[in-house]
Amino acid sequence: MKIAVDAMGGDNAPQAIIEGVNLAKKDFPEIEFLLYGKEEEIKKYLTDETNITIIHTDEKIESDDEPVKSIRKKKQASMVLAAQAVKNGEADAIFSAGNTGALLAAGLFVVGRIKNVERPGLMTTMPVFTGEKDAGFDFIDMGANADNKPEHLLTYGILGSFYAKKVRHIDNPRVGLLNNGTEETKGSELTKAAYELLAQEESINFVGNVEARDIFSGVADVVVTDGFTGNAVLKSVEGTALSLMSILKTSITDGGLKSKMGALMLKDSLKGMKSTLDYSSHGGAVLFGVKAPVVKTHGSTGPEAVRNTISQIKTMLETNLVGELQEFFETPKIKE
């Protein structure tokens, strides 16, 4: 098992990335890593060079580079070389904390789409607030596409269902369609047509429409949406959570001595709350529907999250997730 790592992607690269690789190597000594980036800097943080190959390059994609243009022009960038290694069969998967748009472009144009998957989607496992550890739902498309057709949403249902079974070990994952009401007749032209397709698909357990209000309380294991809506939902959640934290902080600061003492006493509880919110424990976001695992974490990702994401990639490879998807989609029963 070989994982190509874009060592230069992310705000804290290469340090956070390499420290994450160090952690992963302890847990999974059998994984071989191909590390793309500045050799000297990588070596500064690497604690153990067994099963490690460093491929030196000076070029990298910046976080504000124009995605498609940059992967076409910066042919020696660490991310592009890593994707190229996957394409050439030198590695089985690619990991990056760099420019999301560029990684999506590298996934689509370098690694390449699975036959009959017209529009790969970006998927992540979101936390649900039911109190159960590891509870969550797979949310796809989080925003790889700005416009989707009903057929794409059907594909996302199938992709998400495969992931929930293989990686999250859920027997018969419930697939919900994000909509503006739970009734069957609700929705936009897009969601109404997608509903029909999902309801007819025999390979999945479609449970109907779900609303954004309810997805965090665990109404489905997989939630399907178009990329524009997925992006809006994720950013709303993020904005609300940040705002609430800041309100809470202000309330405490403005509340005088009694509140401040209360806050100190509550500190551990608030820390527990923060860890529930932290969905990096589920790993990174997967560009799903391409010929190998292409996995992204936040730019500000730390070593722990890198390790978790490598563990996620390992599971995807061990279970031959992408191979089975290819078989499913290339068998001529579903067409896009």
Residues that bind a copy of itself (CB under 8 A): 129, 131, 143, 146-147, 178, 180, 186-189, 191, 211-217, 225, 227-229, 231-233, 235-244, 246-248, 250-252, 254-255, 258-259, 261-270, 272-273, 276-277
- β-pairing verdict for 32-37 and 285-288: unpaired
Whole-number minimum distance, CB 217 to a copy of itself, in Å? 7
> Rounded distance, CA 240 to CA 65, Å?
28
Whole-number minimum distance, CB 144 to a copy of itself, in Å? 11
> Rounded distance, CA 289 to CA 279, Å?
22
The number of helix segments (H) and strand segments (E) in the chain equals 11, 11
Residue 65 is classified by DSSP as S
CB 108, CB 276: distance < 8 Å: no
SS3 210: strand
CB 4, CB 292: distance < 8 Å: no
Whole-number minimum distance, CB 148 to a copy of itself, in Å? 9
Residue 35 is classified by DSSP as E
CB atoms within 10 A of CB 317: 19
Nearest CB to a copy of itself, comparing residues 1 and 232? 232
- If we measure between CA atoms, which residue out of 113, 115, 131, 191 comes closest to residue 157? 191
Nearest CB to a copy of itself, comparing residues 57 and 209? 209
Whole-number minimum distance, CB 275 to a copy of itself, in Å? 10
First to last CA, the chain: 32
How crowded is the C-beta side of 80, counted as CA atoms within 13 Å?
19
> Rounded distance, CA 19 to CA 322, Å?
28
Nearest CB to a copy of itself, comparing residues 203 and 217? 217
Whole-number minimum distance, CB 119 to a copy of itself, in Å? 13
Nearest CB to a copy of itself, comparing residues 267 and 335? 267
Nearest CB to a copy of itself, comparing residues 160 and 227? 227
Residues 6 or more apart from 23 whose CB is under 8 A from it? 303, 304, 306, 307
Whole-number minimum distance, CB 75 to a copy of itself, in Å? 24
Residue 127 is classified by DSSP as E
Whole-number minimum distance, CB 12 to a copy of itself, in Å? 21
Residue 141 is classified by DSSP as -
Whole-number minimum distance, CB 230 to a copy of itself, in Å? 9
Nearest CB to a copy of itself, comparing residues 50 and 264? 264
Nearest CB to a copy of itself, comparing residues 147 and 196? 147
Nearest CB to a copy of itself, comparing residues 89 and 131? 131
